[in-house]
Structure 1
Amino acid sequence: MNMSRTRRERLIVIGGDAAGMSAASQARRLKGPDELEIVAFERGHFTSYSACGIPYWVGGDVTDRDQLIARTPEEHRARDIDLRLRTEVTDIDPDGQRVRARDVDSGAESWTSYDKLVIATGARPIRPDLPGMDAPGVHGVQTLDDGQALLDTLARTRGRRAVVVGAGYIGVEMAEALINRGYEVTVVNRGSEPMSTLDPDMGRLVHKAMEGLGITMVNDAEVTKILTGDDGRVRSVATQDREFPADVVVLGIGVRPETALAKAAGLPLGTHDGLLTDRSMRVRGHENIWAGGDCVEVLDLVSGQERHIALGTHANKHGQVIGTNAGGGYATFPGVVGTAVSKVCDLEIARTGLREKDAHRVGLRFEAVTIESTSRAGYYPDSSPMTVKMLAELRTGRLLGVQIVGREGAGKRVDIAAVALTAGMTAEQMTTLDLGYAPPFSPVWDPVLVAARKAAAKVRGSS
């Protein structure tokens, strides 16, 4: 009798958040522990959490850190995933199909072989190489560990002055969180307006809303150094010509793909230093290595170019695709249109597709229109103003991008445009969309459709 058994494969996952653990969980659904051993390395204390929720936890809207955790380490282990916390992978050896990992607390190192590898190392906050950036009291916010460290600092700090460096999504959300904590907040921004993911004319609306919250906005300002006191802690933030007192500093400049490991291993990186993959999320040129989440670049379906977009929505989808393929199935990730929403107090901010400078950069000619409308029928109580900006390609009328700023009901309207962009619709085609209508929800002509009508007319007039 032939008693031989098929050798059990080993899947190693580097990174224990959205992409990594989604991949591990999906692979486990497809293959049991007798067929596939899964080992996951995570250098922090937490797994499967919502990084997007950290500003709301810091600001007090979310009262308990554990509310942000979708699945605990114990829950993963109960599904036969060998999850090793506080363990950092320091080397990837693609030729030898192994990784070296270090126990963060003890320093002990060891090599582990793999048959299949998933790289989900995420992104890291941009921390400029300036004097004082590593001083106590200066925080980047990307992980739950980062959020806990910031809250610990806030609890110890007597002063109530905070400076946020940068005015992207994280910077704006952290500024509001600190206002909610009772801090006097200054945002130092190198751009002409906050939210560089918007065109400046739309960013100006966000600027006004932030000032309405009591946040001091300082635009067109470059931070040159962080000044410290006699105790070594941060005391102020300096620009070229001014100094802003600070008891705590939060970096909201943005993030970069965490790909130092991949680069050292000779894996292919794109122009934004993110890993390059094919449609199955397999690292290009490497049959048994996949990558997903904030460490990869993805195809922009509108421009046709690779982009780095750090969003949990993409990371979870990447993980599902990777886990399906690593588990023996088949799945692909077609790309993105760059949809994102945020808020400042009750102001909702949304965008999808290309900004004007994005369209110029890839050689697209377009018409841009901006309209003002309301969230509900004008006569219905609590109707609020809404501004919609739309870009449509010259001659073809193809939708290129939409930005929306308004109060309640504004943000999620961007999903209409996201679907239209994904489908390759023109502004003219959008005007005939059969959207839901009732006075409590929109005017007879929804604001997005008003913008589409104006864009279509402008494209026709320029033809």
Structure 2
Amino acid sequence: MAAERLVVIGGDAAGMSAASQARRLKSPEELEIVAFERSGFTSYSACGIPYWVAGDVPSHEELIARGPEEHRARGIDLRMRTEVTELDVAGRRVRSRDRDSGGEEWTSYDKLVIATGARPVRPALPGIDAPGVHGVHTIDDGRALLESLESAGERRAVVVGGGYIGIEMAEAMLVRGFEVTLLTRGAEPMHSLDPDMGHRLTEAMERSGITVVTDAEVTKVLTHESGRVRAVATDRAEYPADVAVLGLGVTPRTELARAAGLPLGASGALRTDASMRVRGHENIWAGGDCIEVLDLVSGRHRHIALGTHANKHGQIIGANVGGGYGTFPGVVGTAVTKVCETEVARTGLSELEAREEGLQYVTATIESTTVAGYYPGAAPMTVKMLAERESGRLLGVQIVGGAGSAKRIDIAAVALTARMTVDQMTALDLAYAPPFSSVWDPVLVAARKAVSTLRAAG
């Protein structure tokens, strides 16, 4: 009996996790695996690129979990710098093009995994493609940026975008010795935070030496006669730049899926069932940054591009393709980052998101410290909590504070997943010692205040 063939489109987190897991369950005699990757790298941490640029990580090689030869040694036919250009669902085949030779061929499949990821947003503005303007999405992007930093003149950097990548790259530029200006369209950076918490982040960034310009709509990139960037212009001012870094988020890379008629959600990302199978297609699975996931708090499907999700998707897909069983229940929207000494975390719904869902809620915000207030190194931290007014169910938590504050968001992520009320949270048996926390952990202090607010609200 001939082996079945699994074709994987995309050689990063979701794709190669799926291929590797399927290979653990089925031998090459049972399952042939062919994987296509359009770049020159596989299985690497894109999240680590800002820290490589900053110099915290010495080499891009440290970001690679498993290279092409390691995958091939495990019996996966991995074809690098080869881009899939067409998907023929009816014929169960994909067309690929070698990006170096230009050669094309069709490859048939019995089972297909789509892990095409996402692409960075790059608005069609004058000068946006000028030398010295960089995105930060791939290892090649990181290399190009590092080369650009070496040739920069007066060491002025403008970061466009106030999301996770934007604030991480602002820190990286600061560490590299650049004068940094961050431009964000929002009233505060980090639109996933409520404005009052975002303002705390703005103040922290300003204290660190980063100039934050809010409500800034970028209109064009200005260049020298040589063509290199010299400034970034908004609707109100121009900001000198020897280097400009774009951190405007990503959109799902689903052109192949769209052209093939596969189901997409409102975000343009693929829709899958709990087993990660593309809806309506028994032999096609999808995972990673090209799909929508179920938000367990709101009950809606959302596009959330995170490596944590992608790796889980790949494991589940590989198990199902390989004859096992697995499901992905959904997410609660947990994310964490830092800028200089300030940590930022959030999970669940913000106030804006809660209102959009038609939920009635109360909020509780408390100021505390990362460890016992009398213990050396205690740093301030702010915790904001949302609870549903009628039921007391936890809806969301946001944290801004010093070192040691952000990972406390995991307490809230577990509570959200368990659909706990804030009253139930106050009884959680959390670890305590002065070097780690106050007697009442700040998350529990916020829960107690939320309970009091609910009672006062009747």
> What range describes the TM-score normalised by the shorter chain of this pair?
over 0.9
- Counterpart for residue 196 of structure 1: 191
Deviation at 1:378, TM superposition (A): 1.5
Tell me, yes or no, if structure 1 residue 382 matches structure 2 residue 365: no
Deviation track 1:199-223 (CA, whole Å, cap 9, x = no partner) reads 1110111111111121111100100
Q: 1-side partners of 2:83 and 2:144: how far apart? A: 19
Tell me, yes or no, if structure 1 residue 310 matches structure 2 residue 305: yes
- What letter corresponds to residue 233 of structure 1 in structure 2? R
Deviation at 1:299, TM superposition (A): 0.1
- What letter corresponds to residue 235 of structure 1 in structure 2? R
- Counterpart for residue 261 of structure 1: 256
TM norm structure 1: 0.98
- Counterpart for residue 3 of structure 1: none
Match of 2:343 among 345, 348, 371: 348
Bigger mean CA deviation after superposition, 288-297 or 204-213: 204-213
Match of 1:22 among 17, 34, 47: 17
Q: 2-side partners of 1:163 and 1:383: how far apart? A: 33
Q: 2-side partners of 1:420 and 1:333: how far apart? A: 18
> Percent sequence identity over matched residues?
72
- What letter corresponds to residue 241 of structure 2 in structure 1? A
- Counterpart for residue 417 of structure 1: 412
Tell me, yes or no, if structure 1 residue 321 matches structure 2 residue 316: yes
Deviation at 1:406, TM superposition (A): 0.8
Deviation track 1:296-321 (CA, whole Å, cap 9, x = no partner) reads 10000000001111111000000000
Deviation track 1:58-81 (CA, whole Å, cap 9, x = no partner) reads 000001111100011110000010
Match of 1:333 among 328, 331, 342: 328
Aligned positions of 1:49-88 closer than 5 A: 49-88=44-83
Match of 2:279 among 277, 284, 290: 284
- Counterpart for residue 215 of structure 1: 210
Q: 2-side partners of 1:309 and 1:143: how far apart? A: 18
Deviation at 1:262, TM superposition (A): 1.0
- What letter corresponds to residue 36 of structure 1 in structure 2? L
Matched residue of 1:290: which SS?
strand
- Counterpart for residue 365 of structure 2: 370
Matched residue of 1:55: which SS?
helix
Deviation at 1:158, TM superposition (A): 2.9
Deviation at 1:401, TM superposition (A): 0.2
Matched residue of 1:27: which SS?
helix
Tell me, yes or no, if structure 1 residue 173 matches structure 2 residue 168: yes
Deviation at 1:420, TM superposition (A): 0.2
Deviation at 1:98, TM superposition (A): 0.7
Q: 2-side partners of 1:143 and 1:13: how far apart? A: 19
Q: 2-side partners of 1:393 and 1:436: how far apart? A: 27
Q: 1-side partners of 2:231 and 2:165: how far apart? A: 20
Q: 1-side partners of 2:94 and 2:432: how far apart? A: 56
Q: 2-side partners of 1:284 and 1:194: how far apart? A: 36
Matched residue of 1:145: which SS?
helix
Q: 2-side partners of 1:390 and 1:352: how far apart? A: 10
RMSD: 0.9
The answer for unaligned runs of 5 or more in structure 2 is none
Runs in 1 of length 4+ with deviation above 4 angstroms?
none
Q: 2-side partners of 1:328 and 1:148: how far apart? A: 40
Aligned positions of 1:125-204 closer than 5 A: 125-204=120-199
TM norm structure 2: 0.99
Deviation at 1:25, TM superposition (A): 0.2
Tell me, yes or no, if structure 1 residue 115 matches structure 2 residue 94: no
- What letter corresponds to residue 310 of structure 2 in structure 1? A
Deviation track 1:59-110 (CA, whole Å, cap 9, x = no partner) reads 0000111110001111000001011111011111111111111111111111
Count of equivalent residues: 458
- Counterpart for residue 394 of structure 1: 389
Matched residue of 1:421: which SS?
helix
Deviation at 1:54, TM superposition (A): 0.3
Deviation track 1:332-375 (CA, whole Å, cap 9, x = no partner) reads 00000011110011111110000000101111110011000111
Tell me, yes or no, if structure 1 residue 448 matches structure 2 residue 443: yes
Matched residue of 1:319: which SS?
helix
Q: 1-side partners of 2:157 and 2:401: how far apart? A: 27
Tell me, yes or no, if structure 1 residue 241 matches structure 2 residue 229: no
